[in-house]
Structure 1
């Protein structure tokens, strides 16, 4: 019997376009060809340390806000960091950023915090830069699919 693995998606999606990105990530991760991955989305304010500790991989989604991650994503880290520090080391994760500018500060901030947590970036983060582009939807779907398929296959 194969154990089902949990892929946790935590995303701040305040606009219609960022909701579409989140839905694309969920759709990709929930691909019908993947059968042993439980995909679970939790809004930032509803995310608890136990949610993170019971996941086998995580995808974080955020907007770029003043050159930084969204405050609600930072809040998740603020509330969960110390409770997860010892128990989630090596957690495979990736993230995507909806960046109106270049996303550099947002990426640096997430990488800094997750380095402290000792999480492993297992897929190149996706930075959706500039004006909204429909290609972002496809890229987000591919990100979700790649993470779920890799988790199911035991690659991550």
Structure 2
């Protein structure tokens, strides 16, 4: 049985896109079987996307100490229609920014908690790019996907 890992992200800069690619590479590691990874920009993700997912990864820049408006809009749009359908499903998140990534991550964690999602990897907080950041993102994606695999 194939499970779907939905990656919802707002990646407007080259650096945030690089981090997304590392998350996706980890989630699509060749040793992980039975997981279909779907990457959807936050402004394009819909209720059917959420309802069709078995696990989640959320990525955002930290904007003024909070998640991006695009990711917040996603949550605002799908939260109540999906409230009773996602409890217990695994998730992870990453936040990049120079200003208060902790508060941005906390916002995602509160929404995920309200949904009843199970955090299987601590929120990754990144102030820079580079090899270490890519490795953390790869590990995040791989860990969440591996937990869903056959």
Into which bin does the TM-score normalised by the smaller protein fall?
over 0.9
Secondary structure of the structure 2 residue equivalent to 1:78: helix
Tell me the residue number matched to 1:31.
Answer: 29
In structure 2, what is the Cα distance between the partners aligned to 1:34 and 1:112?
29
Residue in structure 2 matching 1:135, options 110, 132, 150: 132
Deviation track 1:75-134 (CA, whole Å, cap 9, x = no partner) reads 0100001110011112211100002134121022112212211111111111112x4343
Tell me the residue number matched to 2:149.
Answer: 152
Where does 1:89-108 land on structure 2 (aligned, <5 Å)?
89-108=87-106
Tell me the residue number matched to 1:115.
Answer: 113
In structure 2, what is the Cα distance between the partners aligned to 1:29 and 1:78?
26
In structure 2, what is the Cα distance between the partners aligned to 1:43 and 1:72?
9
Residue in structure 2 matching 1:49, options 28, 47, 50: 47
In structure 2, what is the Cα distance between the partners aligned to 1:137 and 1:102?
20
Residue segments in structure 1 that go unaligned for 5+ positions in a row: none
Residue segments in structure 2 that go unaligned for 5+ positions in a row: none
Deviation track 1:22-48 (CA, whole Å, cap 9, x = no partner) reads 011111111111221101101111100
Quick check: 1:126 aligned with 2:130?
A: no
2:3 touches 2:149 (CA, 8 Å); kept in 1? yes
In structure 2, what is the Cα distance between the partners aligned to 1:139 and 1:112?
22
In structure 2, what is the Cα distance between the partners aligned to 1:16 and 1:55?
27
With the length of structure 2 as denominator, give the TM-score of the two structures.
0.95
User: Which runs of 4 or more aligned residues in structure 1 lie more than 4 Å from their structure 2 counterparts after TM superposition?
Assistant: none
How far residue 69 of structure 1 moved from its aligned partner, in angstroms, is: 0.2
With the length of structure 1 as denominator, give the TM-score of the two structures.
0.91
What RMSD in Å do the two structures reach over aligned CA positions? 1.2
In structure 2, what is the Cα distance between the partners aligned to 1:149 and 1:114?
20
Secondary structure of the structure 2 residue equivalent to 1:86: coil
